[in-house]
Amino acid sequence: MKNNNTMAAFHILGTENGALKLNTNKMYHWNIPKRLRKDPIQKGDIVLVPTARGNRAVVVMNVFREEFEETQKLYKKVIKVIERAPQ
């Protein structure tokens, strides 16, 4: 079985009254490195990713399998999981 290797997420702008405030203008994609696939990233997790403005936290909206041979897209890699979504 092949694991999910790509995630789509929104950037976190901050918190407002205890709730996360997201930038929903555009959904961005990152590659999930093999070291993080053994304990899978799921929807709602908060992860640290590299961006043009340094490392930032994002909320995962979708996790899926994408083959490079089909899409020809390369993404930056997720650095680490900051917080898991409640089950």
- Express each pLDDT in 19-42 by its tens digit: 989 999 999 999 999 999 888 999
Is 1 within the bounds of a domain?
Answer: no
Domain that holds residue 55: 6-83
Could you give the number of structural domains in the chain?
A: 1
CB 84 within 8 A of CB 71: no
Residue 2 clears pLDDT 80, i.e. is over it = no
Residue 41 vs residue 87, higher pLDDT: 41
- CATH code: domain of residue 71: 3.40.1440
Q: Per residue in 65-84, pLDDT tens?
A: 999 889 898 999 999 999 99
pLDDT for residue 86: 83
* Per-residue pLDDT band at 1 (split at 50, 70, 90): low
Q: Residue 11 contacts by C-beta under 8 Å, 6 or more apart in sequence?
A: 22, 23, 28, 51, 56, 57, 58
Note the pTM of the prediction, 2 decimals: 0.89
